[in-house]
Amino acid sequence: MTSRAWFAVIAGQQTGPYSDDQIQDLIKQGRVVRDTMVWCEGMSNWCKATEVQGLVPSSHMPPPIPPPPLGFIQSPTSQNCLATTANVGPLVGRTLLVAICQFLIIPIPWVATDFYKWFVERLQLPRGERLAFIGKPEDMWHVFMLAALCGYAGFIPIPFLPLLLTPLTACLGLLIVRWFVSNLTADGRALPLRFAGAYWPYVGWTALGMVSFYTIVGWAWVYAAFMRWMCRNVEGTNTKIVFTGTGIEYLWRTVVFGLSAAVIIPIPWTYHWYVKWFLSRLSLENR
């Protein structure tokens, strides 16, 4: 077989990438068995190891079973954007709880993970696939707590301290993004997703985003471009995520939300409106 990068679902967790030699070693060790779900580039869906020609000895091959559909939708139409079924009250309440626990530091890993699970389960994909998030807080508790601690930098009277901490905060943010993407499932099946964005570009975008706030309005275009870069680096399926929002859309909606915050009462509804707009600009398209 040509050298390929393999992924496998072992003990309920997506693992990899493995080379051909490494996947063969896992087969010999019994960690990858005939019913283990595997995937590599060039395959349209995950399938059982015994259904991949040449991967395991033919003597262990069972009758072929059609692989279950897996992955994001591949519709090229314009009706391929995300949406949410989250109601205003729960969305605002859970967001406030995350914000409060961010300051308390200790509970943030569990509260943030619970929010991810709740929110992902309420995402609507165009063809009805059910997404879920299976990440565990104990895997990332130290990252979440350190990131929350860095949030206090703005309260310390040291000039440009938040900017000086950018390499650290970017590293923590990147770890959380990679963890989040790799723990998404669809219809109960692990997705072979990974975030391929490198560390230094992520640091650059984070620093540029912080500096852009001094331009008053330029940040909106920076964050729109940052989101496009983030989406381009979500890999692993034959469907790509595209962010179609523009800087001007970011800007005027943020201004409206900011004005509603000054009045206080409309905040829940404008926040819900803002989240729905953001999701509607995440489009799923063929690569």
The three-state secondary structure class of 286 is strand
Give the pLDDT of residue 73.
34
Interval 28-80: pLDDT, tens: 877 788 778 888 877 877 888 888 877 776 544 444 434 333 333 333 334 58
pLDDT value at 167 more than 80 = yes
Pairing between strand 234-235 and 239-243?
unpaired
**Which of 3.30.1490, 2.60.120, 1.10.3470, 3.40.50 would CATH assign to domain 6-60?**
3.30.1490
Interval 238-269: pLDDT, tens: 788 999 999 999 999 999 999 999 999 999 99
pLDDT value at 11 more than 80 = no
Give mean pLDDT, residues 220-246.
Answer: 94
The radius of gyration computed from the CA coordinates of the chain, to the nearest angstrom, equals 21
Give the pLDDT of residue 57.
62
Q: The tokens of 61 are what?
A: 């091959």
Pairing between strand 234-235 and 47-48?
unpaired
Region of poorest pLDDT, from 19-23, 197-201, 263-267? 19-23
Give mean pLDDT, residues 222-239.
Answer: 93
Interval 71-129: pLDDT, tens: 333 333 345 889 999 999 999 999 999 999 999 999 999 999 999 999 999 998 876 77
C-beta neighbour count of 190 within 10 angstroms:
22
Give the pLDDT of residue 91.
97
Residue that has been written with the tokens 């669809």 in this structure: 186
Pairing between strand 239-243 and 37-40?
unpaired
Compute the Cα dihedral for 107, 148, 230, 217 and give only its sign.
positive
Q: How many separate helices (H) and strands (E) can be counted in the chain?
A: 10, 13
Please provide the distance, in angstroms rounded to a whole number, between the alpha carbons at the two ends of the chain.
25
Region of poorest pLDDT, from 21-35, 154-168, 174-188? 21-35
- Overall pTM > 0.75: no
Domain map (residue ranges) of the chain: 6-60, 83-286
**Between 183 and 65, where is the model more confident?**
183
- The angle subtended at Cα 6 by Cα 119 and Cα 120, nearest 5°, is 5
CA distance 251 to 62: 57
Pairing between strand 194-195 and 189-190?
unpaired
**Between 283 and 4, where is the model more confident?**
283
Interval 141-159: pLDDT, tens: 999 999 999 999 888 888 8
Residue (of 282, 245, 286) closest to 84 by Cα position = 282
- The angle subtended at Cα 112 by Cα 251 and Cα 17, nearest 5°, is 95
pLDDT value at 226 more than 90 = yes
